[in-house]
């Protein structure tokens, strides 16, 4: 299964993109589970503010699209939370982690991300993801405008995109 990271600064469009992807999954009949500490409105099957409820629902479900918004506010470095990126694929899940840079994830968790949506980033962040995906075009993230992002697939396509609002 493909796990995705959606990273960038505040107000760049991360959550808008994630909600769009979530709605796309719902329209295709794929159940979506959302963890959002701010409890914003999402087009989803299940939503909670509590990570314990989210993990329990994820482990009790199969073949869902998982969305973890504001991941920087969560400690995803322990084994229980790291399961979202390392173990949930064995349940048929596709996990989307939304945050500023991805540094809140363990190295093992970051290495599980095979689809990247990178909004405007610092050179350090862009270089990190360039090394992970082994593609120099990811460095272009330092030059993006608001609502633009780099979409990269591990062993695949890298392209510059823009949110349609």
Mean pLDDT by 10 residues, the chain (165 residues): 92 97 98 95 97 96 96 71 90 96 84 96 95 95 97 96 90
List the beta bridge partners of residue 32.
Answer: 65
**Both tokens assigned to 117:** 């949506």
Report how far residue 61's alpha carbon sits from residue 135's, in angstroms, rounded to the nearest whole number: 35
**pLDDT number for residue 129:** 95
Which long-range contacts (C-beta less than 8 Å, at least 24 apart) are formed by 40-48? Answer: 40/15, 40/69, 42/67, 43/19
Contact criterion met (CB below 8 Å) for 102 and 129: yes
**Both tokens assigned to 96:** 């989307």
List the beta bridge partners of residue 153.
Answer: 115
**pLDDT number for residue 103:** 79
As a dihedral over the C-alpha atoms of residue 40, residue 51, residue 34, residue 85, rounded to 10 degrees, the angle is 140
With both helix axes pointing from N to C terminus, report the angle between 79-86 and 51-59 in degrees, rounded to the nearest 10: 50
**pLDDT number for residue 87:** 93
Contact criterion met (CB below 8 Å) for 163 and 13: yes
**pLDDT number for residue 75:** 64
Report how far residue 35's alpha carbon sits from residue 66's, in angstroms, rounded to the nearest whole number: 8
**pLDDT number for residue 118:** 98
Q: Which of 141, 143, 145 is nearest to 163 (CA)?
A: 145
């Amino acid at each position: 299964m493909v796990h995705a990271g959606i990273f960038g600064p505040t107000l760049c469009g991360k959550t808008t993109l994630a909600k769009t992807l979530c709605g796309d999954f719902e329209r295709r009949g794929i159940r979506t589970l959302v963890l959002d500490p701010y409890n914003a409105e999402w087009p989803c099957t299940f939503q909670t503010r509590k990570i314990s409820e989210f993990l329990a629902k994820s482990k009790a479900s199969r073949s869902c699209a998982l969305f973890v918004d504001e991941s920087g506010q969560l400690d995803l470095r322990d084994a229980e939370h790291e399961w979202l990126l390392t173990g949930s694929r064995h349940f048929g899940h596709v996990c989307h982690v939304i945050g500023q840079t991805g540094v809140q994830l363990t190295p093992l968790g970051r290495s599980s991300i095979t689809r990247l949506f990178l909004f405007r980033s610092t050179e350090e962040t862009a270089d990190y993801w360039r090394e992970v995906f082994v593609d120099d075009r990811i460095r272009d993230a330092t030059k993006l405008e608001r609502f633009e992002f780099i979409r990269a697939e591990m062993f695949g396509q890298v392209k510059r995109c823009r949110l349609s609002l």
